[in-house]
Amino acid sequence: MGEESAIVETGKSTARDLAELVERVPMVFPRHLTNVVAEFDHANAGLDSVIDLVDAAVRELGGRELGPESEISLQIWLSGKVSYKFSRHDAWERAAEVLSGRGYRVTRAGSAVVVSICFTPKSAIVGVNRVADSLSSWPGGEVRLSKTPDQVSRAEFKLEELFKVFPIEDGGDALDFGAAPGGWTRILAGRGFRTTAVDPGDLDPRVLRLPGVVHERTTAGNFVRSGKGRFDLIVNDMKMSPDRSSRLMCDGAALLKPFGLAITTLKTGTHHVLSQLDEAFEILGSEYDIEFARQLRHNRNEVTVVLRRFG
């Protein structure tokens, strides 16, 4: 479809079945799911044609997919290099008008059911889904986070996005491998963790001043060998191949309390991604249950994995 979207034809399975599978397996690349109810295959179609399509789709759906909901979110996004002759804003306004005309109260987010319109270079796709079965409440899974003045690295977005889809309990002792310049450490400190930041590189002075932050200026390997401390959470954003990084996480499991949580990025680059992930998961599986693994929107050529240490 677009650069980041695909239609999967299934027999009787719905987006809900797929959502369960994605969480259970876990599947790494799906970020957002919807039940496609219509696809319109003309790149040069005007807005009227697309709106007619939404109208027909919603009318046909009637009570079936939308159920008794009287309020729906309408979300529009683009996948790939799309050049339509109308703006996303106009498309939203017109589609919202149609939905309101059919008796629905239309929101941008926050309703239990979402009507999605995805524009790809070739087509417009209309989908209807429960947000609970969509993997993300953001249009197309495109989480947007804004930069704050005290942010010290763009890497912060990755951890923030993870905590939106995989909330964790705040507070305790945390260990941050590959911490510099200190973005993840800053987020953890903000969530009440006493954080040991391990990196041969410098931490931002603002991070060093945060309560509970200690900088260990060494490599993760050296720190693990020192055997110092017991932690509730280990995070790892080291610039390192997935197999090496995973081995270090396994060695580091000795520093984690039983059933403690670990979060690691696996930096695959763009070649042999699946085989690198398979190898990393196999290594990690010797010490941890894999609770979550996804290429988040803020991951570039990497995957974020959440692990639970065996008891």
Interacting positions 239-278 with ligand SAM (CB under 6 A): 239-240
- The smaller minimum CB distance to ligand SAM, of residues 54 and 180, is found at 180
Q: Which of 55, 65, 133, 156 binds ligand SAM (CB under 6 A)?
A: 156
Q: What does the per-residue mask of binding to ligand SAM show for 200-239, with x meaning CB under 6 A?
A: xx-----------------xxx---------------xxx
114 half-sphere exposure, CB direction, 13 A CA radius: 26
- The smaller minimum CB distance to ligand SAM, of residues 33 and 213, is found at 213
CB of 209 to ligand SAM, least distance (A): 16
- The smaller minimum CB distance to ligand SAM, of residues 240 and 305, is found at 240
Cα–Cα distances in Å, from 235 out to 144, 173, 188, 229, 231? Answer: 23, 11, 10, 15, 10
Q: What does the per-residue mask of binding to ligand SAM show for 163-182, with x meaning CB under 6 A?
A: --------------xxxxxx
CB of 258 to ligand SAM, least distance (A): 25
Q: Is 162 in the site for ligand SAM (CB under 6 A)?
A: no
The answer to whether 123 and 41 are in contact (CB under 8 A) is: yes
At 12, list the tokens.
Answer: 């009787």
CB count in 10 Å sphere of residue 86 = 15
CB of 306 to ligand SAM, least distance (A): 16
Q: Is 153 in the site for ligand SAM (CB under 6 A)?
A: yes
Instruction: Give residue number: closest CB to ligand SAM.
Output: 183
Q: Is 157 in the site for ligand SAM (CB under 6 A)?
A: no
- The smaller minimum CB distance to ligand SAM, of residues 47 and 168, is found at 168
- The smaller minimum CB distance to ligand SAM, of residues 65 and 302, is found at 302
The answer to whether 217 and 199 are in contact (CB under 8 A) is: yes
Please give the positions annotated as active site: 267
For binding to ligand SAM (CB under 6 A), which residues are involved? 153, 155-156, 177-184, 198-201, 219-221, 237-240
